Chain A
């Protein structure tokens, strides 16, 4: 059993060494495949990064967006205060202030816009209100979900919040993200085809050698290995190269973007792919390369039999 395990690792290590040697002696082919993978991965990843940054930029724009919760007129001041205190304890909420009809009328009077007209009213037309300040980090979606929840409280008559434009932007981002996903799928398929085709060409080039290997009793797995390793390495290098493209893009844009934000009095800075992104893109490239080569080799290896030896 020990020798079996040793053989398992040995044949794989030998194949990997052969592939790496080939790569060192003839890097051009590998680089070309890797460059194609790099662009195909960087495009959707860049689009995704764009949506993340836009979302971060607009996330802060909920700031100062107060939510007005109008209660039924029948609700007593005591009940209103209790509700406000309860709401203030919710994780989505920074502060909740109860404004009774009377104090509302006083605030209105102090604002001075209405002059004497308020004094002429036969009775106070204002309902009890809770003014609620949501947490900044809350997304528009989270906020609207929270508001829907508030509407179900029996004492609540209506809720008013200026969410429309944020919701539109969020919906727009969802569309862009969907496009990114479709693009990613299309380009992933393209990577499979491109890596698969390069594996197919290598197989045709080495037809005679494959026939010879089959003749001396090589299993399909043994013959397949170098081609699959080559595809996986192309994918891995392609993913790392794609990360490099994104990082370069970020460093080219980060200063102008920060400057622009500064002019608008904003401290926004661009978020790039980050060091961990090299693992994500490299990993995705590796798997696509492995899969593309594996499928192509599986399809074409069966056609080659040592009939003409």
Chain B
């Protein structure tokens, strides 16, 4: 359960990116976050991943108040998340398979288990053939899919995806969205920021609409 209560985020040299945001996302829900560029979609995801801290208000995840989470508890909190961000970062001296296995490696999973699960995740995004390529040799779309594989390899409780299909063409982006839905059906809470409203109507899920950092619409699909 993810709960925002009266959350505002003011970047140091900038205006208010999130204004007085309050909402609740239940476990095993799937939610889209839409809105124009600069509306605050990425900031909202970063607040959940405890990458940013709110200026005012509270973010509570499964009873844990992220604003008061001690520094030493951040790693174990983040291990429960799977995160796909717009610009994918990689370990450039490791191949694709090792990059996908990174969330498993940091918790000390045995090497054979890492290989097995990372391969399965790569297979899901259709890139098993590139397992031993170096990340730098991949196209933008392939890098994005590797980033998605990395976010799901350790079977997170919560999946956060920021424009995960931004670099992908129509068919492939549908495949990836179906993959997210499949995960959600297995019980993963999925939150996806996208400006592409087509996915919302196709998957028929709850959607937030942000405008200048404020929540102007929060409707379950059925209410439309």
Contacts and interface: CB of A to CB of B under 8 A. Distances in A.
Interface string B40-76: 0000001001011000000000000000000000111
B51 A212 contact: no
B102 A216 contact: yes
Given A217-B75, A219-B75, A309-B51, A212 B89 contact: yes
Given A7-B108, A209-B91, A222-B106, A216 B52 contact: no
A209 B89 contact: yes
Contacts of B195: none
B78 interface: yes
B217 interface: no
A98 B102 CA distance: 86
B108 A215 contact: no
A305 B75 CA distance: 12
Interface string A287-309: 00000000000000000011101
A214 to B, nearest CB: 7
Interface in B90-140: 90-92, 102-103, 105-108, 110-111
B147 to A, nearest CB: 10
Interface in A27-62: none
B49 to A, nearest CB: 7
A208 B103 CA distance: 16
Interface in A212-245: 212-220, 222
Given A10-B110, A218-B106, A212 B90 contact: yes
Contacts of A209: 89, 91-92
A309 B105 contact: no
Given A10-B108, A11-B108, A216 B89 contact: no
B87 interface: yes
Contact of A309 (B85, B103, B106, B107): B85
Contacts of B52: 307
A11 B51 CA distance: 25
Contacts of A208: 89
B79 interface: yes
> Looking at B75, B76, B79, B103, which has the most chain A CB atoms within 10 Å of its CB?
B75
A11 B74 CA distance: 19
B108 A211 contact: no
Contacts of B85: 309
B78 A309 contact: no
A215 B106 contact: no
Given A213-B102, A215-B51, A309 B75 contact: no
Contacts of B106: 213, 216-219, 222
B103 A217 contact: yes
A192 to B, nearest CB: 26
A215 B89 CA distance: 10
Nearest to A219: B75
How many interface residues does chain A have, given as a range? 20 to 34
Nearest to A9: B108
Contacts of B110: 6, 10
A6 B113 CA distance: 14
Contact of B51 (A14, A217, A305): A305
Contacts of A216: 78-79, 83, 102-103, 106, 150
A56 B105 CA distance: 57
Contacts of A11: 105, 108
B102 A212 contact: yes
B89 A217 contact: no
A217 B108 contact: no
Contacts of B103: 216-217
Contacts of A220: 75
Contacts of A218: 75, 106
A217 B85 CA distance: 15
Interface in B9-53: 46, 49, 51-52
Contacts of B79: 216-217
A216 B78 CA distance: 6
A216 B76 CA distance: 9
A211 B79 CA distance: 14
Given A10-B110, A305-B51, A309-B51, A217 B78 contact: yes
Contacts of B87: 309
Contacts of A7: 107-108
A208 B92 CA distance: 10
Contacts of A219: 75, 106
Given A11-B108, A214-B78, A217-B79, A307 B51 contact: yes
**A-B complex: 4 closest residue pairs judged by Cβ atoms:** A217-B79, A7-B108, A217-B78, A218-B106
Interface of B: 46, 49, 51-52, 74-79, 81, 83, 85, 87, 89-92, 102-103, 105-108, 110-111, 150
9 contacts: A7-B107, A208-B89, A209-B89, A212-B102, A214-B75, A215-B89, A216-B83, A216-B103, A216-B150
